């Protein structure tokens, strides 16, 4: 069999056997399509076979990825992190081949490049308050936008988790609910009194029976389908909503839905929460992912140094 055919089977197995989301499958499809693109460039007359993937092939592929220019980007190349995602997809594909006893490169030979720890941008409480102050409270749209941002900051939800919420998912009385995050893993989510009140105020203004917790109020939204999901907000919609109020508040930071998740984690650690608890609340499978937030301990290190280290 050819690699192109096996990739299609691998992508299907991600959803059916491994329980990965369609979003993950689409990402893997993009990364592995570049593998085929590379193969067609170096051997235009031959279809890539599993046994063609050798250490030398891998070396050339990594060099190609490093020099790859993104289409319509004026010479922009792939970041080291994005290159790593391509190699993660390749490694997953090779593991799939090994599981099926199809001879190819050993997955352990696919080493990932070293990546720099991402810089975490977060909002201070006064900045959160400035943003909230710009949201009108006398319109359904304003009440929706306030509920969205209160929920993001209160819970640390990913934007994909937020837009997937239905009304019956959120228990406003108990102020807690379960959410299914990355890797189809469930975790408990807790929300503040103000977040619960903001969601309740928004729902009180709704006069529909659609299941989605947050709806697109645009009149340009096409009326189609029967599930109501055509009215569900998208990640890009949430981004535009946030950008609108951030600009109005005069905040110059680049703020995204994920910035609220960073702010949630930073606020917990600043107020004394331990890293393991924050890991659970964020739904991180690995503690090393949560450790990007240890920047908040830096001011405390200065105080510890002053208190316990003696002058000569």
| Catalytic site positions | 158, 182, 258, 261, 284, 293
DSSP code per residue over the chain: --HHHHHHHHHHHHHHTS---HHHHHHHHHHHHHHHHHHHHH-TTS---GGG--HHHHHHHHHHHHHPBPTTSTT-B--HHHHHHHHHHHHHHHHHHHHTT-----GGG-PPPP-PPPPPP---HHHHHHHHHTS-SSSHHHHHHHHHHHHHHHH---HHHHHT-BGGG-BTTTTEEEEE-GGG-EEEEE--HHHHHHHHHHHHH------BSSB---TTS----SSSGGGB--HHHHHHHHHHHHHHTT--S---HHHHHHHHHHHHHHTT--HHHHHHHHT-SSHHHHGGGGGGGHHHHHHHHHHHPPP-
Angstrom distance (rounded) from CA 196 to CA 176: 9
Q: Tokens 């020099």 appear where? A: 67
Residue 211, Cα to own-chain centre: how many angstroms?
23
Question: Radius of gyration over alpha carbons of the chain, in Å?
Answer: 23
First to last CA, the chain: 73
């Amino acid at each position: 069999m050819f690699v192109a055919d096996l990739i299609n089977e691998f992508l299907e197995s991600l959803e059916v056997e491994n329980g990965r989301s369609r979003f993950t499958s689409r990402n893997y499809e993009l990364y592995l399509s570049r593998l085929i693109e590379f193969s067609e460039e170096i051997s235009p007359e031959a279809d890539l076979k599993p046994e063609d993937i050798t250490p030398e092939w891998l070396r050339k592929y990594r060099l190609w990825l490093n020099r790859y220019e993104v289409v319509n980007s004026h010479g922009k190349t792939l970041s080291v992190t994005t290159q790593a995602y391509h190699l993660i997809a390749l490694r997953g594909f090779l593991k799939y081949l090994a599981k099926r006893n199809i001879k190819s490169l050993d997955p352990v030979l696919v080493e990932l490049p070293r990546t720099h720890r991402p810089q975490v941008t977060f909002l201070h409480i006064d900045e959160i308050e400035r943003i909230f102050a710009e949201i009108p409270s006398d319109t359904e749209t304003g009440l929706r936008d306030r509920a969205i941002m209160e929920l993001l900051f209160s819970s640390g939800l990913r934007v994909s988790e937020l837009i997937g919420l239905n009304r019956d998912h959120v228990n406003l009385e108990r102020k807690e609910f379960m959410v299914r995050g990355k890797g189809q893993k469930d975790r408990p989510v807790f929300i503040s009194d103000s977040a619960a009140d903001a969601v309740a105020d928004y729902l009180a203004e709704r006069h529909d029976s659609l299941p989605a917790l947050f709806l697109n109020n645009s009149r340009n939204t096409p009326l189609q389908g029967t599930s109501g999901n055509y009215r569900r907000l998208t990640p890009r919609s949430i981004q535009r909503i946030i950008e609108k109020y951030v600009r109005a508040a005069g905040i110059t930071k680049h703020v995204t839905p994920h910035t609220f998740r960073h702010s949630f984690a930073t606020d917990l650690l600043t107020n004394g929460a331990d890293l393991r608890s924050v890991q659970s609340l964020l739904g991180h499978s690995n503690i090393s992912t949560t450790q990007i937030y240890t920047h908040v301990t830096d001011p405390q290190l200065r105080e510890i140094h002053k208190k316990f280290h003696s002058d000569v």
